[in-house]
Amino acid sequence: MKRKIFICLIVAAMLFSITGCDSNSGSSDGNSGVKKDEVKKLAIGDVISNEKCEITINNIQFSYDVLPDDTSSFYTHYAAESGKVYVDIDTDVKNVQKQNLSCDNIMSVELDYNNGYKYSGQIVPENSSTGFTYANITDIAPLTALGVHFLIDCPQEVAESENPAKLTFDLDGTKYEYTMR
């Protein structure tokens, strides 16, 4: 009896590995043609999307002082603390839904520095009257776009060294990757 159960388990395991019974295996994002378990390479100017929004990657750079697009009058900015630097991911986010899109959950971004040092980003939407504002109080109206920065606070060494630096973007489970160096 134990031998029959053991053989059945082996056969089931073999069938599982052959058919790929994982429900996410090979599933597509629907909008981008990228499978959920694949990682797509990103470049400046690329547009990534899901059923909620279209995100245009305008620029990615290290910055000691992150400024909004409009600096002609009063504005807020993000100055890095001593010994720190920001990875500034400048994007435009267009809401393609029929209702407002909350900025605090657009996507997540993580920096992998030197193959294992991980740093997470924060979402910083632009505001025409103050420069920047808070993601948790900002919505994007339907069919409109807003400048949104994703800022990653990390040690200054990350900008000054030649060690690998790679960004991973997670848009509703679909992964994208940008290699800084």
Q: What does the block give as tokens for 25?
A: 């295996």
Report the run of H or E that residue 118 belongs to, with start and end.
strand 117-127
Tens digits of residue pLDDT in 28-54: 444 445 555 688 999 999 999 999 999
Closest CA to 62 of 86, 89, 81, 90: 86
Span 30-179 CATH architecture? Sandwich (2.60)
Cβ contacts of 164 within 8 Å, gap of 6 or more: 112, 113, 114, 115, 179, 181
**Domain limits, the chain:** 30-179
Strand partners, 151: 88, 122
- Average of pLDDT values for 65-76? 90
Per-residue model confidence (pLDDT) at position 36: 56
